[in-house]
């Protein structure tokens, strides 16, 4: 007997700390339910800072201004680092010198979908930024990360050589905005139910169980 399938569309940005925290919580929920359900994950693009130039900006200066001062910046980054640590993630904001424009990274993540490598590529970019402090504004870094995550270097080079991938990302983002998605992380379950924010693992588990039971009632 086949297991019920739960489709999860994940809208997030690679430089969103709560998206990375939510990713871990979601993964933990899926792991606890994998014997009962089959999960189909798909990542969709969202840019927290679409106005950032392709070469990126100084990370600390950008967020100090955005958050309203250095004290506020330190308070926020310390808090999110502590929360991330509870999920087994070791953020290092001191290594993050550059806040990038993430559209190229998103185009690579979309490229990875047909090959079934989206989760690995998404994880690689988020780890590179939050843990390793790698500059994601540099094309050579994007290439190396993508190749390490299992994508063909030549295929990624071809993608980055023109702006078709960037146009596809912009189009996808526009469609998501029309759905009313203005913040991330955001999760769409079975094309019907929305979950906003980096919810606790237990909340994901409860949502999946409730949604699966509704599906079973609708399709006995």
Provide the mean pLDDT of the chain.
Answer: 94
* 124-153 confidence digits (pLDDT tens): 999 999 999 999 999 999 999 999 999 999
pLDDT over threshold 80, residue 196: yes
Q: Which regions of the chain does DSSP assign to beta strands (E)? A: 5-12, 38-45, 57-58, 98-99, 186-189, 193-196
pLDDT over threshold 60, residue 9: yes
Extents of the domains making up the chain: 5-218
Average pLDDT of the segment spanning 202-214: 91
CA 45 vs. chain centroid, Å, equals 8
Neighbours of 62 (CB within 10 A): 16
* 158-182 confidence digits (pLDDT tens): 999 999 999 999 999 999 999 999 9
CATH superfamily, region 5-218: Glutaredoxin (3.40.30.10)
């Amino acid at each position: 007997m086949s297991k019920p399938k739960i489709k999860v569309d994940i809208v997030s940005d690679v430089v969103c700390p709560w998206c990375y925290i939510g990713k871990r919580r979601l993964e933990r929920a899926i792991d606890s339910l994998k014997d009962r359900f089959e999960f189909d994950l798909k990542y969709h693009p969202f840019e927290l800072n679409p106005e950032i130039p392709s070469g990126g900006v100084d990370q600390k200066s950008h967020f100090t201004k955005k958050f309203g001062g250095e004290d506020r910046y330190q308070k926020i980054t310390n808090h999110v680092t502590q929360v991330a640590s509870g999920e087994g993630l070791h953020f290092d904001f001191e290594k993050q010198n550059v806040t990038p424009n993430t559209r190229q990274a998103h185009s690579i993540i979309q490229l990875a979908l047909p090959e079934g490598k989206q989760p690995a590529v998404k994880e690689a970019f988020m780890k590179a930024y939050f843990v390793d402090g790698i500059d994601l504004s540099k094309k050579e870094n994007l290439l190396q990360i993508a190749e390490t995550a299992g994508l063909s270097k030549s295929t990624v080079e071809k993608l980055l050589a023109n702006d078709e991938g960037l146009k596809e990302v912009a189009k996808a983002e526009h469609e998501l905005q029309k759905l009313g998605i203005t913040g991330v992380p955001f999760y769409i379950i079975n094309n019907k139910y929305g979950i906003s924010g980096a919810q606790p693992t237990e909340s994901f588990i409860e949502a999946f169980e409730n949604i699966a039971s509704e599906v079973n009632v609708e399709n006995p």
